Chain A
């Protein structure tokens, strides 16, 4: 190849990526840069705006509302994500083993909640959770149990975890299932002939083979956990005292910007949140790599 042709190909390639990166720069980089810029100012109701350096960031690290929000997210990461992905993996393996009747229908029905918009899912669960007249109330009453208030401040976090689990198990299951299906079948046929049990087969052949897919679901779940917004925003209408402004960091950024009218501090929180997500994703990635070495 002559360098003229090469140069032409470079130009062609830039032509292909230009539209994406033009939009990417304006819709992704520019907002981040702009909010980074705003985060260095403070705008008071009395007195107007002034440059404050890193003050907003210092404030965030001392702000109990923000820190508790991060804490709730951590709890979701440690409790809800493993449950959700564990279920997804179990269903995917069960379907892949071909031992359950009606697998195809099962697969579609478990996936179905993913097609329900998050807003609708939250509205619906809001009704279901009703203590006296909701479905959970009807069921506990029929069983003679005391009514449980799923919207109380003690339970609301778990109620929200349940909504997220309900909505996303199927999605993760499909990713894992698709990965399982692409394992060359010779591999486990051989193991089965050896008389390995389904459990052993899953543990020592299938799961290691789909590690990239598992990694993908973990990363998506980490990002998703930090994004939680719809649930507190919609449930706060029916459970007003159970959901504080800083329930999740994302919800907090919204409230700081639009209720407390502190755009600059909200920008700092949004920016900080991006950093936290990067760090957590990086840690997840590192720990996956380490484990890979051990295996």
Chain B
């Protein structure tokens, strides 16, 4: 207790000191913006094998922030491989909560993780604020040809490798075969026009919806734009952004969905809440346009419907050029504030790149792999899933993965982008309103914010 009291006293006095400094006006703390300062070991040169050996054989403590369940298993494998290194796994929240924690810890300079999970869509955002360590000097560039090209492109920024891919989410169509059959739909719809016809049959002949289009599922909606070849965002890694979410091409895709929504052919419930899980279990939704991580996830979330589901590619705009988009998927990055960059890099790399832990991600954590070696591993590809009536779902999504466009980019402020998405486009979906106007409103909000933050905006 005495120790504690002293700590408290220290805390109070140091806060008083900060306050005093602030009030005296002699502080630089509003500008802790040493963004572009080099990382601790950023000497510009490559890390040698000797340095790596030394780092991996020195007792080291690492902290790893991730919300991947049971990732401790992969970490245990890593610790067994490198017994000198001890890793603390922390879950500080998911999604925006996670990212705001990473930012604040990184700004404070202490208490943050060494290795951090980032979805692909947020890598530019953290690169922009200079929080990510360039992994090239540690050998990351050599991994390039081990990964699916469009995934690898997602972790690059200005020739820097900023993260090691973990999983990805090329999109497909999961559906309930029994409900489709009851509705008189015997083949998975090949085109979006077919999909609408099927949706009408499902509505007419069953009590289900062909799918649920969650208003706030920004990543899913963007995935559908991605499939259609729309390029809403661009970022040059510096201060130039391109914002074009209300392009005619985007509006064309959304006009299709506005028609579907206003004719009550799809439901528009928020997803991943209790009601939505029930909707999946009880057949309210006869299908789900979703990512490759979903098949295994669904088999756990809707256990009661095992055997009834099937998987197919997304319906197409142009069947001569099959395409898909991506929804979600994560990578592991190293923060510049780390004191042990080599060990941190090895952790991020090993659990995702070494074959055994990477394969375990696919069987245990629902993850759809990004490494070509795993995508081609018969253990993964030939797996037959009882939940999908014995279908080789992984093989299907592995094929879909090759049809994802490689040129998609993100804005460097996706936290704001998604939150304003919900208020503009998402609200329009929820209100069964004018989706084109929703895109316009989103465009305006993004442009305003970008300008406010000092970016140069290209329409």
Contacts and interface: CB of A to CB of B under 8 A. Distances in A.
Report if A and B touch in the complex (beta carbons < 8 A): yes
Interface of A: 22-23, 25-27, 30, 33-34, 37-38, 41, 43-49, 127, 130-134, 151-153, 237-242, 244-245, 255, 258-261, 264
B415 A238 contact: no
Contacts of B454: 44-47
A37 B22 contact: yes
A241 B422 contact: yes
Contact of B419 (A26, A45, A245): A245
A131 B453 contact: no
A34 B452 CA distance: 23
Interface of B: 12, 15-16, 18-19, 22-23, 30-31, 33, 96, 100, 103-104, 128-129, 215-216, 239, 270, 273-275, 278-279, 284, 412-413, 415-416, 419-420, 422-423, 426-427, 429-431, 449, 452-455
B23 A33 contact: yes
B275 A241 contact: no
Contacts of B416: 259-261
B415 A244 contact: no
A49 B33 CA distance: 9
17 contacts: A26-B19, A30-B16, A30-B18, A33-B19, A33-B22, A43-B31, A45-B412, A45-B413, A46-B455, A132-B278, A134-B275, A238-B270, A241-B216, A241-B429, A245-B423, A258-B96, A261-B413
Nearest to A261: B103
A22 B12 contact: yes
A23 B12 contact: yes
Contacts, number: 111
Nearest to A23: B12
B415 A242 contact: no
B199 to A, nearest CB: 20
A241 B271 CA distance: 11
A241 B423 contact: yes
B169 to A, nearest CB: 19
Given A241-B216, A245-B423, A133 B274 contact: yes
A44 B452 contact: yes
Nearest to A31: B19
Given A44-B452, A46-B239, A46-B455, A255 B419 contact: yes
Contacts of B270: 151, 238-241
The 6 residue pairs across chains A and B that have the minimum distance between CB atoms: A240-B216, A46-B454, A30-B19, A258-B100, A44-B454, A238-B273
A74 to B, nearest CB: 21
A132 B279 CA distance: 9
Nearest to A240: B216
A69 B23 CA distance: 31
A269 to B, nearest CB: 15
Given A43-B30, A241-B422, A34 B22 contact: yes
A31 B100 CA distance: 21
A242 B19 contact: no
Nearest to A34: B22
B215 A26 contact: no
A37 B25 CA distance: 9
Nearest to B107: A263
Contacts of A23: 12
Nearest to B413: A45
A223 B47 CA distance: 57
A245 B30 CA distance: 24
B46 to A, nearest CB: 31
User: Chain A CB within 10 Å — which of B22, B30, B104, B452 has the most?
Assistant: B30
Given A45-B129, A264-B30, A259 B419 contact: yes
Given A45-B413, A259-B100, A26 B12 contact: yes
A133 B423 contact: no
A132 B31 contact: no
Given A153-B427, A153-B431, A45 B23 contact: no
A41 B454 CA distance: 15
Nearest to A245: B419
Contacts of A153: 427, 430-431
Given A238-B274, A239-B270, A261-B103, A46 B453 contact: yes
A63 to B, nearest CB: 11
Given A132-B275, A259-B415, A48 B33 contact: yes
Contacts of B16: 25-26, 30
A131 B416 CA distance: 29
Given A33-B23, A45-B128, A237 B273 contact: yes
Contacts of A237: 273
Nearest to A236: B422
B415 A260 contact: yes
A242 B427 CA distance: 7
A186 B420 CA distance: 62
Contacts of B284: 132
Given A45-B455, A152-B430, A240-B426, 16 more contacts: A26-B19, A34-B22, A41-B30, A43-B31, A47-B454, A153-B430, A153-B431, A237-B273, A238-B275, A239-B270, A241-B216, A241-B270, A258-B103, A259-B100, A259-B415, A259-B419
